[in-house]
Chain A
Amino acid sequence: MALRSIVLPSFYQDSVALMRVAQALRGGEGVREAAALMGTPSNHGILAQAGLASVVIEKAGPNDLILAVLADSGSIAEEALAEAQELLFRRRAPAVPGTAASPRSLDAALRLLPGANLAAISVPGPFAKREAMRALRSGLNVFLFSDNVPVEAEVELKREALARGLLCMGPDCGTAYLNGTPVGFANVVPRGRVGIVAASGTGLQAVACRLAGLGEGISHGIGVGGRDLTARVGGAMTFLVLDLLKRDPRTEIIVLISKPPEAEVLAPLERALAEMGKPAVVCCLGAKPPAKSTARWVETLEDAAQAAAALLKRAPWAPRPFSDPEDVRSRLARLQGGARLGSLLGLYTGGTLAHEAHLLLEPLLGRIPYNEERGDSPHRIVDLGDDAYTVGKPHPMLDPGARAEWVRRAGGAGEAGVLLLDLVLGKAAHADPAKALSEAVRAARADAAKGGRVLHAVASVVGTERDPQGMAGQIRRLEEAGVEVLPSNAEACRLLALLLKPGLAGRMPEEAS
């Protein structure tokens, strides 16, 4: 076994580019372990843990790229390093065909693209405010994907944006549809009559996809960041976007998706919705609807899409726990089989979906610790896209590896009886996320069986057939690995609750019992 490493000084690469290089390295025959990381202090720790530390790399700093390979022989490792470097140098092609080099700053980019109207910013959190502020001051709207941006910075950025009549979408904004063009993580959905204002990413994606399934499209979809409706941020962007959608002739109906607005923001929000002159559906996950509202308040993302589609068709609508109760009954009969199922482990890539699951399941199963919370509960739900899990790493929608690892661990020593999962498709997401997930589920189920345990997996998929990954094929892959795939996150949660506590059937309307 031979370890070879190299440092490329001042060779900054984004986390996705690094992930691609690392994957190419690992794919080589005879390569046991490999890494492509910037030399930040935490990455030095990761390298040491993986057995890839060496004197060659110990002085590398945050702007220096480290490549390290552990292989069966020295020549295999050296060859892999040479290939990785070639891949990296090839990637550094000019930004604009025909020009000599990529611009190194926003100002230089603006000289190449006069009339630019948007800055898409996904630099690491500590550097995001500086770039976003520069973009706003240059008259650009901002799509701010970066996370780990402090709320004080958000307030300053949004104040600047408002003063200039510009949008600041985010921070932590994963998705937008601007005049029909998807930005960030976005599914291929038709244009249509529904304008969506959403906290961040997966909520917007889930509703847009379900609307597509119901034959409706969206006019615009705009993320405002998960903290926009807090008292601190004061709904700065939500109100701006509602005003835009009010004046937009394409938009016939509004869907608002958010965490519950803080008390100081609720009254002005209600006023803004009442003055829209267009019907509105509000899905503020976990909020108690106000006693009187002009908007239709719903409990789940699925209901938001259903209610909006019904309003457009002027059809009556009431929420239902399951779209196909007969199917749920047969799944339950097949899965229960008298086995004790133990506990729930929710492993999500979509933050809004994880939050929705937590809100739906706590009243049914009792307290469920979320992310790193500790508590006397056998259950747990983890949002692997949360800031805490993504420092220096690609989002789990881009790199399914981290979640696959969690799933595998659940099969071995874990206590989990049922895994609760999401799978989010669309542009910018991994090309075949169901592959890694289904392989991990297979392995975990086999490990659990060796230990005399039963491990079930329940999931929902956010996507459309027109997405690059193709919805039907991804579902089929999961089902072949024994995953129960339900039409929505809410239905997946309810099926899971019935699996763990069959006695709950009486608490869900008659259809499930």
Chain B
Amino acid sequence: MSLESLMGGPLRVVNLGLELFAEELRAEGAEVVHVDWRPPAGGNPRLARLLEGLEELDRRED
């Protein structure tokens, strides 16, 4: 469903990262919500990977 709506309808976008892309998409008439994203685990990539592993375990258990 989502893929068909992407190719055949208007874009409805969640933007994470460069806010510039959200600005450009809005200018094109797309509906955009920009996430005020911050790096997880205080920006420490190693801790973030561990956190990701824990989240994955948690998801599988659910």
Contact = CB atoms under 8 A, between A and B. Distances in A.
A428 interface: yes
Interface string A121-163: 1111011011100010001110001100000000000000000
Contacts of B52: 129-130
A106 B37 CA distance: 9
Contacts of A108: 35
A81 to B, nearest CB: 22
Given A105-B35, A106-B14, A127 B3 contact: no
A248 B8 CA distance: 9
B6 A127 contact: no
A63 B21 contact: no
A2 interface: no
Contact of B35 (A63, A103, A117, A145): A103
A205 interface: no
A181 interface: yes
A95 B35 contact: yes
Nearest to A99: B33
B60 interface: no
Contacts of A179: 6-11
A104 B14 contact: no
A117 B45 contact: no
A183 B25 contact: yes
B39 A140 contact: no
B18 A15 contact: yes
B8 A63 contact: no
B14 A120 contact: yes
Given A62-B44, A220-B7, A427-B24, A127 B39 contact: yes
B7 A16 contact: no
A165 B14 contact: no
B20 to A, nearest CB: 5
Contacts of B25: 120, 181, 183
Interface in B2-48: 2-3, 5-22, 24-25, 27-40, 42-45, 48
Given A16-B18, A105-B35, 19 more contacts: A12-B43, A17-B19, A61-B42, A95-B32, A95-B35, A109-B35, A116-B13, A116-B33, A118-B12, A118-B14, A119-B16, A120-B15, A120-B17, A179-B6, A182-B24, A183-B11, A244-B7, A427-B27, A428-B20
Interface of B: 1-3, 5-22, 24-25, 27-40, 42-45, 48-49, 52, 55
